[in-house]
Each structure stands twice: as structure tokens, then as C-alpha cells.
Amino acid sequence: MTQRKSIYYATAGLLAVIIFASNFLSTDLFKAGYQNFSVWFVLSVFSFACGWLINKTLGYNHGGKVIFSVIVASVFVSIILVSIFSEYFGLSELIVENMILYVLRNITLGSMALFGMAVCELIILQKDGDSNKNKLEEVRRLLANTHHEAKLIIEDARLKSEQMLYETQQTIDDMIERKNLIEIRLKEFISAEKELLKRYESDEE
């Protein structure tokens, strides 16, 4: 488990400040000109960067919970702030549409942070996928080499076994041939002895 330092939560605090600061911007982005829109764009980029850093430091699951908590807290604080200082924010009366507008602004910046987290996590997963793909290719290459070596070993063992069987068969054939030769010579010797005995008996008579 990755150790989470307290300083890592400073990024979440910065995100909360950015979301809170958006309440003081005009809601008429395009009517107010490009300057106001540029400020919103910069805040969005900062929120995206905060989400990226939170994913790097706190992880995807825990960081997502932290960003969600920041969004909920910012929305709650914004509602209270707008309700108390409605005249400062130019709201003659507190209607639901105005409250929803401020809530949506906070959620939009929070969503940019979540988007930054998602992009960062996708890049990490892509790198891990490429690394795992390279490892898989290496494993496949090792398996192919091992399979080839196993084939060579099996072929060598087969040739040696065939050589041993051939030599054994040759030895057995030689032994059978010698046995047959000895039997033939023994029969010839016995036959000669019988012939000698017959001659000896005939000479005595």
C-alpha cells in the first residue's frame, strides 16, 4: 500500500480554494468578454492539474473519494455563503435557479479535477499495459526457446535410445550366432565321438 503523506492533501486544499474562488466570478462568461472566460479556462486547467497530482500522490480510489469530498464541501460552503451574502453576489432574491447555478459551477470545476485524475490513470494504465505486453512477449520468447530446447533434448534422447537399442540388438545377435556355432560344433564333436565308438566296437569284435 502506498504511504500517503500529509503534504499530499495540500493539493486537495488547493482544489477547494479554486472551486471556492469560482463563486466570485461573473456567471455571464461570454457577455463579460474574453477576459472572464480566460479566468474560467485557467481555473479549469488548474483543477485538471490538481486532479492529476491527486491521482499521482493519493491514488485513484482514495484520490477520487478526496475530490468528491472537496466538491461536496465546496458546494455546501458556497450555498451558505451565497445565502448569507446574497446582496454581495448581486442576487436580489434567493431563488432555486441561482443556487443551482453556483452549485453547477462548483461541480464543473470538480469534474475537471476528476477528468484530470482519469486522464492520469489512463496514461499509467497504458504504460503498465505496454510494460506487461513487453513482459508477455519476453515470456513467449522464452517459452519458444524452451520448447525448441526441449525438442532438441527429446530428439537427442531418442537418437541415443535408438543407438543403444541397435547396439543391444547387435550384441544379442552376436551372442545367438556364437551359441548356434557352439551348438553346431558340439553336435559335430558328439557325432565324431559316436563314429569313433562304433569303429572301436567293430574293431574289438
Q: Does residue 30 carry a pLDDT above 50?
A: no
pLDDT tens column, 160-187: 888 998 888 888 888 988 888 888 888 8
Q: Which domain covers residue 25, as residue numbers?
A: 6-128
Q: Does residue 64 carry a pLDDT above 70?
A: yes
> Tell me, what's the pLDDT at 93?
57
Q: Is the distance from CB of 15 to CB of 113 less than 8 angstroms?
A: yes
* Phi, psi at 91, each rounded to 5°: -105, 110
User: Which among 24, 30, 58, 57 is positioned nearest to 43, based on CA atoms?
Assistant: 24
pLDDT tens column, 104-155: 888 888 888 889 888 888 988 888 888 888 888 888 888 888 888 888 889 8
Query: For the chain, how many structural domains are there in total?
Result: 1
Q: 171 burial class (0-12, 13-18, 19+ CB within 10 angstroms)? A: exposed
User: Is there a domain that residue 193 lies in?
Assistant: no
Q: What share of the chain is helix, strand, coil (3-state, %, to 5)?
A: 85, 0, 15
The pTM of this model reads: 0.58
Q: 29 burial class (0-12, 13-18, 19+ CB within 10 angstroms)? A: middle
Does residue 144 or residue 30 have the better pLDDT?
Answer: 144
Give the C-alpha separation, 55 to 67, whole Å. 10
> Tell me, what's the pLDDT at 180?
87
Average pLDDT, the chain: 80
Cα 72 to the center of its chain, rounded Å:
34
Q: What is the mean pLDDT of residues 59-66?
A: 84
Q: Does residue 193 carry a pLDDT above 50?
A: yes
> Tell me, what's the pLDDT at 53?
87
User: Is there a domain that residue 195 lies in?
Assistant: no
User: Is there a domain that residue 98 lies in?
Assistant: yes
Q: What is the mean pLDDT of residues 59-68?
A: 84
User: Is there a domain that residue 25 lies in?
Assistant: yes
User: Is there a domain that residue 91 lies in?
Assistant: yes
State the greatest distance between any 2 C-alpha atoms of the chain, in Å, as a whole number.
165
User: Is there a domain that residue 1 lies in?
Assistant: no
> Tell me, what's the pLDDT at 88?
63
HSE-CB for 192 with a 13 A CA cutoff: 6
pLDDT tens column, 81-91: 777 766 665 55
Q: Does residue 74 carry a pLDDT above 60?
A: yes
User: Is there a domain that residue 79 lies in?
Assistant: yes
Q: What is the mean pLDDT of residues 183-192?
A: 84
Q: What percent of the chain has pLDDT over 90?
A: 0
pLDDT category of residue 1 using cuts at 50, 70 and 90:
very low
> Tell me, what's the pLDDT at 34?
52
Q: 55 burial class (0-12, 13-18, 19+ CB within 10 angstroms)? A: buried
User: Is there a domain that residue 182 lies in?
Assistant: no
Q: What is the mean pLDDT of residues 35-52?
A: 81
